[in-house]
Chain A
């Protein structure tokens, strides 16, 4: 018969033996085959995994990958978090949307569930992007916690294959995991306020966690970053995309910069010192080309402190810079010019962002205005609003990336220019330093922007308002804007209005509680220990 070529030979011999023995025993009237256990086959359990010395690196890479990937099968399949489309669930994509869409910088034209309300500050505790961001953050936290548990001294001592050299290496990996956890917690307190603080002391799986205060988590981040600073690897090609000492300083600078928002107590001097430490490390310099920072070969930029690496062939996701590059293309734009295989017709500038820039500012070189209007009269119409394909999948030499669908362009999380701007802001806030140095740093960026000194400012022009505006110009669409506007008290309320703020074309004042996102409604149900943020 035709079915003889079925591969019965594939069955494990011991199973057949069991079957035969049971058959024989049954005939004899005895029943002895009563163990239904089956060892997993094509799946890898903990003991098997850690028997490989490379496992520690592979596990740590997963925590880094939590920022760059959406799951274990690129571009989709085996997602990290559920309850949302996998492409939408990618960390960077969500973080970018929560930081940019509700501000004066960006608008997205799609109708997908949960997106339209991001443009207008009209989200609810069920809005999908808000919910997914929360789960993404805790996915990072729990991965790091699990890594720290699996690499505790006791756990390592129990494994025979951990050599002293490997153990030293693992200690550095542990510091990197703690950096990544601190980064996730920074996003947690910045976006959500009072959140649970889970560490490697908490069991996994564990009970529903208790809610901590924003201050507790803030203190934890600061103490962690301080503790691991010296254990992290040094900057260099071998640690590109990884947490280094200066990267920890940069994260510390960000946290101190916003300490007033997080704790009620400002820490300008500490912010200044942390930014100074980054600058003083000497590991980075300002890239001569602003455009290079956002192109497919931006991994070679000397300005990059901490990046989320993307790769068209090996690191594929529908989130990340793939999303940014495709979504900011549409209308009459030729996708071929941007190294991508098509346009997604989504992201444009709000008019205020377009108007950030004065004539002569070459940072706008990539803006696409043909058939586009400045005003965003209709959110759903790609032609309404200037297109801003900042992230492109072509190299500075003009070569397209390795893959048209998935980009090679890395995302700059921290770059030296921001350290300059933090320094300047801290000086103006009375955190020490000198105005002259601040002015020098700012003008360094202005000279790159204008291709000369024509855009330089003088000391009287160096004000906090100028810093906010300059951050908008320099760091446009780099996922800082919401945090900046909140720090300056202009995100909610009516002191600063922009198109579609509050849901109207002209912009309307919004309630102060919107400075924090709500905890997800689903999380309040799953975890009765949590108390919702006020106003929601």
Chain B
């Protein structure tokens, strides 16, 4: 069925470039690197000074020649050890000796963690926040930044849609909303990126269901230094109204040391892992002859593997250049990244060109720190046109691909009577002739000024920060279907052209003061922060659509004459968020820690009486290990108990929901009024009193370090209650202007535990074998508590539309059940075989129909456990790392099987191909609501394996690496992918790929 050849891509040939710069007076640095505990020499340590870089051999000695004269910083890096930095001054011709003793680490408590409007030492955090730096990130082909931390943080679920750069969902501690967004807030270098999944816009088609791309694709993952996830409300509440789904703080790389040029390049090859299981030509022929003999005459003699024709081995390449450095009072980093990654289905490509500049200037004796940051990216996305995947499943395998007698040269089912509408289309024709692509320009930038008032005696300890930022996106997306392909001629569309060119500009202004009194207040010291934030957003959605194209000759380049006038749409929306915030932290001897914060937000998305909301939070921490009574227990190097409470909001839904408005018609929705046509206006149903969703959460956590941090980690328990869910619910008929209205109804809760454990399993010593491992586990229970204010009785809202029939839904929102639980009937089995139209009712009887007597909530798509295991091993110059992931307790509805697994599909105007489950079930008519199709989709996946080989080359470090992503998946699920989106409905989803990547990194 598919091509099994995987080609490990050839490594890039890089032009051998000599180290930059002519020979100037230079000196030499030498020394020895040891483990500070064992005093044993360490091998494989990267020692860097300026642009020079060497690796230590087995005896731990190093020698760096040609070091420019002057003062610079000597740095070391070795997995499992804290990095060290030492200033050195080299005079011309001198040899300076610097010996270094490195400290082992698993968790660094002194590490600085970025928090909302500030930073904190990891050891003193009183809230649940997890920081990952570039050393922890996933490697291989990473298109979207969120994939860097996939599987790495307990309680953070990343669900990608398998397309390169495709839309992905991030859930922090479960889903907390139904109709508003459940995506976290992203903050890049202090700049909040609006509401929803990464703010901004992405290439999203005007119509159809081709998925939009991830709006965060504009961030080059190679530019990211660290990602911090604020999981509990105490950490996130300083972001108030946008923080209900957690906050992800992204910090980009900055320059340091002397000028360095860095190049990293890789190539990759991807192939399909699993495709829908359809009948082959022989099976199909037998089925048609048996179950739809009237259609047997239509069958051809071909043996066509339609999926084989639309999938491919996808090649990708990525190149990143960066120039960085620092002077006495400034630092800079310029980066240029290029990525071109094909998808494994014909037609899909993600291309990105990303530029980044970070510049930092210190003025007035370093009292004023000015930082400018600009990122600008062009992404060019080619999508597989809608109609390729589902037709590859439905098109008869006995039919040929080509037919020279047709207008397009591609074969399609013959039309007899009105059969065309119910026939599949040739997927190769659609794939080769239709176009669907979009370009997105997005830029964010910020200018931050931070002033330290300490020069004024009275203002000692006071700093002020002003941050001005913008975020602009401009999208141009075109979808084109020629007028002579079967997909268009069969329904009378006769060609279609859509162009959508939305643009958005967000502006943010933030200012805050931080005051740390120079003397202790009482037994401890105080840190006060107070600030103001103003952000506004202006979006224009301009689009044009046309059908019945007079000619297809212009392709996707423009609209020729059309039989009916093209339809333009232009909509402008604006929103505003104004906030005041403050925080006080109190620290007694790094032993007793407390923090309180409050944010007051005013949002344009609510009526005047509900515009303002308050979001308070409080947290405390007790570092037990710092207590005198713990001094004797040397095995426990760190122990901290923390507890937090906080309230956050969610306003991530459309603008102007509080106003009743009159909606004009489009030209196809006019009303004949006597002898003329009138464009009718419709008043909209609203709840003028709509207000925030608010989430109250509790978190209790324990951070621990044992045996000098040889083992370390944390355990957290949390409980999140979301109230006033913004929900579109049925309203009593006649009481409002439609039968559904968006209002605040309902409650939902998420409760869970998270466990994080990192360990240095083996400490091989000099040149020996070392092994570090990190294990994380998260368990979450989601429950919808209420959805209707009018009655205490359980009510249900049906959701989860699937392919097959019109209006078929297979999920439910029901109090007492997890959100989007499947809502199906228990299949009746006879001797292990499912019996058609036979179900077990709730009362236990065998019934003929799946109706209210048998429908019940049955499992849900969210995993109950998410487990991640990352491991890194090093031996001499080799590093091997891998990441395993498991989801337990998640279920997926196999929609391809339920929709195409019935013999009735053969009786259409032209028969559809069938999914192979029909061979087991023998179903003649569709049984969409049978729990037969709700499959357990727990899995274990080797997500990532990478092997590195690092060696000195011309006095520099050269790193080669090769890896595999999605090496294997073990699952009982029979469909395409057990991670089939947030909603767990597998309906011709994009298949998952296995990707081999090889590349190198070099520094000059």
Contact = CB atoms under 8 A, between A and B. Distances in A.
Given A58-B681, A128-B807, A341-B491, A314 B664 contact: no
B663 A344 contact: no
A73 B806 CA distance: 19
19 contacts: A7-B505, A15-B538, A19-B507, A22-B509, A38-B655, A42-B573, A68-B672, A73-B666, A74-B666, A85-B807, A137-B733, A143-B683, A205-B687, A205-B731, A206-B736, A315-B668, A341-B490, A343-B417, A344-B421
B416 interface: yes
Given A206-B735, A526-B788, A73 B668 contact: yes
Nearest to B572: A41
- Counting contact residues on chain B (CB < 8 A from A), the size range is 35 or more
A63 to B, nearest CB: 8
B616 interface: no
B443 interface: yes
A91 to B, nearest CB: 13
A204 B728 CA distance: 18
Interface in A210-258: 237-242
Complex A-B, nearest 8 residue pairs according to Cβ-Cβ distance, in ascending order: A343-B418, A74-B668, A342-B421, A74-B669, A36-B602, A62-B680, A341-B492, A309-B672
A345 B418 CA distance: 9
B417 A332 contact: yes
Nearest to A37: B604
Nearest to B538: A11
A45 interface: yes
A330 B809 CA distance: 27
B225 interface: no
B943 to A, nearest CB: 34
Interface string B436-463: 0000011100000000000000000000
Contacts, number: 360
B734 A202 contact: yes
A45 B660 contact: yes
A37 B790 contact: no
Interface of B: 355, 374, 376, 378, 416-422, 441-443, 466, 468, 472-474, 490-492, 503, 505, 507, 509, 511, 532, 534, 536, 538, 540, 564, 570-578, 580, 602-604, 608, 611-612, 655-656, 659-675, 677-683, 685-688, 728-741, 788, 790-791, 793, 795, 798, 805-809, 851-852, 904, 907, 909, 925-926, 928
Interface string A176-210: 00000000000000000000101000101111110
B657 to A, nearest CB: 10
A122 to B, nearest CB: 8
Contact of B659 (A11, A40, A341): A40
Contacts of A55: 662, 681
Nearest to A403: B492
A143 B737 contact: yes
Interface string A474-508: 00000000000000000000000000000000000
Contacts of A461: none
Nearest to B728: A82
Nearest to A333: B417
A126 to B, nearest CB: 6
A69 B669 contact: yes
Contacts of B735: 142, 198, 204-209, 527
Nearest to A345: B422
B505 to A, nearest CB: 5
Q: Is the interface of A mostly helix, strand, loop or mixed?
A: loop
Which of B683, B732, B852, B909 has the most C-beta atoms of chain A within 10 angstroms of its own C-beta?
B732
A27 to B, nearest CB: 7
A458 B306 CA distance: 67
A123 B280 CA distance: 40
Contact of B674 (A205, A242, A329, A333): A242
Interface stretch (A106-114, A260-268, A280-288, A448-456): A106-114
A405 interface: yes
B355 A1 contact: yes
A47 to B, nearest CB: 10
B734 A141 contact: yes
Contacts of A204: 735-737
Interface in A24-79: 26-27, 31, 33-38, 40-46, 48-49, 55, 57-62, 64-65, 68-69, 71-75, 77-78
B241 to A, nearest CB: 10
A146 interface: yes
Which of A18, A58, A64 has the most C-beta atoms of chain B within 10 angstroms of its own C-beta?
A58
B376 A1 contact: yes
B791 A525 contact: yes
A114 B929 CA distance: 13
Contacts of A11: 505, 538
